Chains A and B, each alone.
Chain A
Amino acid sequence: MGLLAKAPEGRIAELLDARGDRPGHDWLRAPEIGSVMVRGRTGGTGAPFNLGEMTVTRCTLKLASGEVGHGYVQGRRKACATAAALVDALMQTECADAIRRAVLVPLDEEQAARRATRASKAAATKVDFFTMVRGED
């Protein structure tokens, strides 16, 4: 679900729809936009404190075959939350493997590539210290 939460705008729907029509569903909770209070810890490891909020969109749906899917995505993205919930529900059906290959694997690879690019750029800015020759006599 972490992969789905962080997927770029529209990407889940794109991958999901590429493999055919979406199954029908009923809403148990229609997509809604809200906030989550993000917490940190004093000194990084101490007591929790409230840092500030972030926007989150969530929904819950039920497939005709009965599986319940939850979608939680970062930001205000009702279409993405819907697609995420459908993927979550379909992962409980017999087409779980197909969905994994069609949606989750590409999302995972794309996320890993984005991370690797940033990490490589950061690594290029790492300081290599060298010792100046000291006059020691």
Chain B
Amino acid sequence: MYVAVKGGEQAIGNAHAWLAEERRGDPAVAELGIAQIREQLAQAVNRVMAEGSLYDPDLAALAIKQARGDLIEAIFLLRAYRTTLPRFGASRPVDTADMACDRRISATFKDVPGGQVLGPTFDYTHRLLDFKLAAEGEVPPAPERDPATGPVPHVTGFLNREGLIEEEPGVDTIPPDLTREPLEMPAGRPLRLQSLSRADEGFVLSMAYSTQRGYARNHAFVGELRIGAVAVEMDVPELGFAIEIGEITLTECETVNQFTGSKSEPPQFTRGYGLVFGQTERKAISMALVDRALRWEELGEDFEGAPAQDAEFVLSHADNIQATGFLEHIKLPHYVDFQAELELVRKLRREAEEVRSSALMGGLASHDGQEAAE
């Protein structure tokens, strides 16, 4: 019989003290500063901001340091901090057409107005370890060229003009908010996009990959991928007008997908959409593919039973903080639960034993009976 106890304070305190020491590592090695993480591990910072669903590079860098580089733990820290903040309001929807693009490429149109701008990308690198980085050294400044002035319009706009792609008419509804109301099915597209934007990158990547391999196949072209800074504007009641409250870097991906038409829609290209905090293009492309797969119902397509089409499956398992919370809790003490299980198994075994021995007795008896009958 297990009797409820308490204890472990000393052990927990000592464990945390050791954690702090291990986090610091060898004191002979210089300590990592928050600014160093923010500036030099920017992709980790971007991922933590995107999945932590809070844009603040300094806080994300602090979380990464505290979590010893465990990004899911860092995301957890950021999400926890977020809940302590009062909400001042919601921004006006950001205008991604007005983005100051660091990178803007289209896989569908070579000569797109505004051009193919590669930006600071890993693409076309040879993926060979660069041992020069192991030695300290100055980086030469990046080359510059006169920037072309002129608009950088969305690529899907061109297809829209010919009517070859579905329209995205602007409306001004108040979107549902996952952080205020629990996720409920069926989830409309705005709710799905909020969920996907903060979803685990690995999970969304795998779901997107499954559609490419044939589960809910909807051959996607990257119509456009753009990364850059957009202004965030908010209506401020005390002023009576909208002001710019900051500038954030976003990655936006628009896919153009084959569509042969359905009962309700003509043959045309359809769209998938990804929008994520920071320079996070793997996630944004994945998000666009999964968004498109989840749209089967509104486009009148068949449900093929593919995981990526199943909104309940995708959205319920996409959040790594929910997932890790439930997964990791099973390592915490379950002594009383397990005691009950133990009692149950013992009881079942006792009962099974009794049944078997009585069956054995009965079997002998019937055997005797049979013999007698013969």
- Residues of A at under 8 Å CB distance from B? 1-2, 5-6, 32-56, 58, 60, 70, 72-76, 115-127, 129
Query: Known contacts A6-B247, A40-B193, A124-B144; is A35 also within 8 Å of B88 by CB?
Result: yes
Distance from B216 Cβ to chain A, minimum over Cβ atoms (Å): 19
Query: Known contacts A42-B193, A44-B252, A47-B173; is A125 also within 8 Å of B117 by CB?
Result: yes
Q: B residues within 8 A CB of A123? A: 117, 144-148
Are B92 and A39 closer than 8 Å at their CB atoms? yes
Q: B55 contacts which of A50, A54, A60, A70 (Cβ < 8 Å)? A: A54
Query: Known contacts A5-B243, A34-B85; is A122 also within 8 Å of B54 by CB?
Result: no
What is the interface residue range for chain B against chain A?
Answer: 35 or more
Is B168 at the interface (CB under 8 A from chain A)? Answer: yes
Are A39 and B93 closer than 8 Å at their CB atoms? yes
Tally inter-chain residue pairs, CB-CB below 8 A.
Answer: 222
Are A120 and B90 closer than 8 Å at their CB atoms? no
Q: B residues within 8 A CB of A52? A: 49-50, 53-55, 194, 197-198, 277
Distance from B168 Cβ to chain A, minimum over Cβ atoms (Å): 3
Are B191 and A38 closer than 8 Å at their CB atoms? no
Are A70 and B102 closer than 8 Å at their CB atoms? no
Are B88 and A36 closer than 8 Å at their CB atoms? yes
Interface 1/0 per residue, B108-122 and A, CB below 8 Å: 001100011111100
Are B190 and A48 closer than 8 Å at their CB atoms? yes
Q: How far is the CA of A129 from the CA of B168 in the complex (A)?
A: 31
| Pairs across A and B, CB under 8 Å, 22 listed | A5-B246, A33-B85, A34-B85, A37-B89, A37-B179, A38-B55, A38-B90, A39-B93, A39-B175, A40-B250, A40-B275, A41-B93, A44-B96, A44-B168, A46-B170, A49-B194, A50-B176, A51-B250, A55-B56, A56-B246, A124-B143, A125-B118
Q: How far is the CA of A58 from the CA of B102 in the complex (A)?
A: 29
16 more A-B residue pairs beyond the given contacts A70-B236, A74-B245, A123-B147, with a C-beta to C-beta distance below 8 A = A34-B85, A37-B87, A39-B92, A42-B273, A43-B271, A46-B170, A46-B171, A49-B190, A50-B194, A51-B197, A52-B53, A52-B55, A55-B54, A56-B88, A121-B102, A129-B111
